[in-house]
Structure 1
Amino acid sequence: MDTPMEAEYKKLGLRQEMKRLRGALDAGARALASEKIAQRLLDSGLCGPGKCVLSYCSTGSEVETGSLIAALREQGCEVLLPRMEKERALSARIFRSGDTLVRGSYGIEEPSKHAPQLPPQKIDVILLPGLAFDRAGRRLGYGGGYYDRFLPRLREDCTKIGLCFDLQIFDEIPHEPHDAQVDYLVDENRIISCGQDEEEING
């Protein structure tokens, strides 16, 4: 296990490399892969009708979530989106058809401050962006710590899903003991059930 300083140094280097690699993806290829990821998730049953799902508003070269959010609502999910609050905190806000999004921190679209807020304990499924993941479910974020602070507030049985492109998945990424892990990874080719009973779910 690396020391905290060694792990942070390695994370910084990997963040820079992954921003470059993901940003180099052709826009058309990225859009097609995002459609495949969305359909794979919808077909998986992990976000079934009646589930309360916290998604994210994609930005830059992330897996696109616009059509996925609409599809989740159509299949009967209660969709929430994150809003960045003071002191690097996240809140979960209800997002319904016709609601207007505003530009928040870092230029990311988010619900307005008037959108109804739900406590994290109400969330059944959370969809997470990231720069890199490993097959054990470890996630490399952007370094702001928003999700690191939010994830411990979820119920233990909340399903955590990382949405990513195949090139973002590694056998192992730099990590520290406190780093949160996801339960599943969904890319354009497969679903990986993470952890000790790691399993690829293809189709």
Structure 2
Amino acid sequence: MTLKQDTRASVLARRKQIPSALREEKSLSICERFLEEIDSRFEGETPSSASAERLRIAAYEPMTSEVDVHPLLYAAYEHGWEVYLPCMAKDTRDTPAHMVFFPITQNHLTEQRPAFLDHPARPYLLDELHAQGWQEADERLFNVAVIPLVAFDSGLMRLGYGGGNYDRFLPKLREDCLVAGVAFEEQRIDRVPTEPHDLPLPCIFSA
């Protein structure tokens, strides 16, 4: 195994050991801090592509032991903000999958869940998604981006899942987008193994 693979496996095993009640408590704390930052950043301001009452938030549907960001998503709906979640899509059956974001309503989360929310790593054909009415968002419209991760360090370096999806996603965002990772303190390590192209996140909320 490479150093990144070994680190990833070790931290994921540690994250999985967090008791569910503690994970829920920590997740809520992280979401509350994230919301405070959103309120602080956008209160009384008008972002260039959305009013302060209609922010566009790119997040994720939590898998297994990830930080549960649902409290943040439900708060976003209460504020009337727009929520976008990722899907792995392929232009053709023979091309590599890439991450796109679709607008997700609260009803999609609770009642009429699209398949890609329950199977976030499974690739879907883009033409079939379009036929179902899904249209991918322009990443430059996002005001807020919630970034999942496997491990992080005090320098805000992020270790992801190895697919490079967020490495490709982050450069597409506007300069004034509020970008922050979310993680449990159990995912903090002394030093994330990096390569020359790896860059730190602007902010990471942890608990």
Closer/same/farther in 2, CA of residues 42 and 144 from structure 1, 3 Å limit: same
- Paired AA for residue 72 in structure 1: A
Name the TM-score, length of structure 1 as normaliser: 0.79
Instruction: Tell me which of 120, 131, 136 is aligned to 1:108.
Output: 120
Alpha-carbon distance in structure 2 between the residues aligned to 1:91 and 1:108: 11
Alpha-carbon distance in structure 1 between the residues aligned to 2:41 and 2:71: 15
Instruction: Tell me which of 95, 108, 113 is aligned to 2:104.
Output: 95
Query: C-alpha deviations, 1:58-98, integer Å up to 9, x for none?
Result: 01000012222111121232211111112231112111222
Alpha-carbon distance in structure 1 between the residues aligned to 2:197 and 2:137: 25
5 Å-filtered alignment, 1:55-134, equals 55-86=59-90, 87-99=96-108, 100-104=112-116, 107-108=119-120, 113=129, 114-134=133-153
SS in 2 for 1:85: strand
Closer/same/farther in 2, CA of residues 124 and 71 from structure 1, 3 Å limit: same
Matched residues, number: 181
Q: Which runs of 5+ in 2 are unaligned?
A: 43-52, 91-95
Q: Which runs of 5+ in 1 are unaligned?
A: 1-7, 189-203
Greater C-alpha radius of gyration = 2
- Between 109-118 and 151-160, report the one with greater CA deviation: 109-118
Structure 2 match to 1:29 = 22
Runs of 4+ in structure 1 off by over 6 angstroms are: 109-112
User: 8 Å contact 1:89–1:150 — kept in the other structure?
Assistant: no
Query: C-alpha deviations, 1:150-171, integer Å up to 9, x for none?
Result: 2222223322110101121234
Structure 2 match to 1:194 = none
Alpha-carbon distance in structure 2 between the residues aligned to 1:150 and 1:85: 14
Alpha-carbon distance in structure 2 between the residues aligned to 1:149 and 1:75: 29
Structure 1 residue 105, shift from structure 2 partner: 8.8
Structure 1 residue 46, shift from structure 2 partner: 5.8
SS in 2 for 1:170: coil
SS in 2 for 1:101: coil
Structure 1 match to 2:158 = 139
Greater share of strand residues, 1 or 2? 1
Alpha-carbon distance in structure 2 between the residues aligned to 1:137 and 1:79: 25
User: 8 Å contact 2:145–2:180 — kept in the other structure?
Assistant: yes
Closer/same/farther in 2, CA of residues 39 and 105 from structure 1, 3 Å limit: closer
Between the aligned residues of both structures, percent identity stands at 30
Structure 1 residue 125, shift from structure 2 partner: 1.3
User: 8 Å contact 1:47–1:53 — kept in the other structure?
Assistant: no
Query: C-alpha deviations, 1:99-135, integer Å up to 9, x for none?
Result: 2333339833999923332211111111011110122
Structure 2 match to 1:11 = 4
